[in-house]
Amino acid sequence: MPAHETFYEVMRRHGVTRRSFLKFCSLTAAGLGLGPEFAGKIAHALETKPRTPVVWLHGLECTCCTESFIRSGNPLAGDVVLSMISLDYDDTIMAAAGHQAEEILEQTIEKYDGQFILACEGNPPLNEDGMYCIQAGRPYVEKLRHMADHCKAIIAWGSCASWGCVQAARPNPTQATPIHKVILDKPVIKVPGCPPIAEVMTGVITYMLAFDRLPPLDRQGRPQMFYGQRLHDKCYRRPHFDAGQFVEKFDDEGARKGYCLYKVGCKGPTTYNACSTIEWNGGLSWPVKSGHGCLGCAEDNFWDKGSFYSPVTNLGVTGNVESTADTIGGTLAAAAAIGVAAHAAASVVAKATGKKKTQPREEVSNG
């Protein structure tokens, strides 16, 4: 398969009709929270641009980001991996191994110097000259720096690459370090979460391919379209929070009635992510919907902030609990530069991936 083929050419070669292709573009625009007029722009980009080369590296991590990515329902990861991007190297899912695999890195640099996206899952440990993560006989941090020198931009998948995550928990013996603190001269797009939501991951890649630029980011480097609001802002249990109706224990009457989980530790009031709108498993559910509070896994330092089962603040939840939570959230909101479009983006994705169970692969395949 020639690497210079466009996404459209690949789809046509697989027997996809033009009508299905345009339908795919409309769904993608909706999934990104963009207006219908952007469907044409996406179609034009996918028809004319060569597929984007991507190198996907793994540092200290558990591979949950890859596990999440391959379960994306909109667009299906298969569409993204096999058609929209040219995934030249991924040491988890590639067929090559050993020297043959490592040679692909150099070949990618030779062919696409300054043009490929470097997708990083996990982080490099810096202690002991990087010896806590050795790949192909050398410290991972060396491999990361080498590839970063030649890439166009970096996507930091998940909370490990974005913030450090549990391997950076105090006292952080390996000095696990997030990507943006190691690579200082390339743009780093943080897509945090443990793992990130599948549709958020594929949505970020789709945006970069279609528009040939980084998605709008907040001050922490996260795409605004997916990280522009708190879970608390769109949580279906929010009316119970506002009414002061809380679960006190996981087996009490409030839990059975579906009351708010704030008192049993829900971090939704301070967590920026799209779980309460896009949800998980193709829009089937999310932790709060299954009766457990949010752990705040998309936020920096969530692993060292104390018990997952303690309320967000120590100020109690009587009286002005809402203003307390909103004060905390409001402070973060200012820092995160919420975009108005974020609500629309997440809502449309929720519709596309949720109740209707839209399946772009079927759409594009069946005509």
- When asked if residue 191 is in the footprint of ligand SF4 (CB under 6 A), the reply is no
What would the x/- binding string for ligand SF4 be over residues 276 to 305, using CB under 6 A? Answer: ----------xxx----xxxxxx-------
- Least distance to ligand SF4 from the beta carbon of 256, Å? 15
> Which is nearer to ligand SF4, 51 or 232 (by Cβ)?
232
- When asked if residue 196 is in the footprint of ligand SF4 (CB under 6 A), the reply is no
Tokens 């009286």 belong to residue: 319
DSSP state at residue 34: -
* Residues linked to residue 98 through DSSP beta bridges, in sequence order: none
* Touching ligand SF4, residues 209-228 (CB under 6 A): none
- Cβ-based burial of 137 (10 A; exposed 0-12, middle 13-18, buried ≥19): exposed
- Least distance to ligand SF4 from the beta carbon of 79, Å? 24
Angle at 304 between CA 299 and CA 308, to 5 degrees: 75
Among 60, 200, 232, 321, binds ligand SF4 (CB under 6 A): 232
Interacting residues of 34 by C-beta distance below 8 A, sequence separation 6+: 345
Question: Taking Cα atoms as reference points, which of 167, 217, 165 lies closest to residue 194?
Answer: 165
Q: Tell me the backbone φ, ψ of residue 216, rounded to 5 degrees.
A: -60, 130
Q: How far apart are CA 165 and CA 180, in angstroms?
A: 14
- When asked if residue 329 is in the footprint of ligand SF4 (CB under 6 A), the reply is no
Among 80, 260, 338, 345, binds ligand SF4 (CB under 6 A): 260
- Least distance to ligand SF4 from the beta carbon of 273, Å? 4
> Which is nearer to ligand SF4, 112 or 241 (by Cβ)?
241
> Which is nearer to ligand SF4, 224 or 273 (by Cβ)?
273
- Least distance to ligand SF4 from the beta carbon of 204, Å? 16
> Which is nearer to ligand SF4, 239 or 367 (by Cβ)?
239
Among 10, 235, 348, 350, binds ligand SF4 (CB under 6 A): 235
* Residues linked to residue 89 through DSSP beta bridges, in sequence order: 55
Q: How far apart are CA 252 and CA 288, in angstroms?
A: 16
> Which is nearer to ligand SF4, 118 or 288 (by Cβ)?
288
357: its two tokens: 């169970």
Interacting residues of 305 by C-beta distance below 8 A, sequence separation 6+: 296
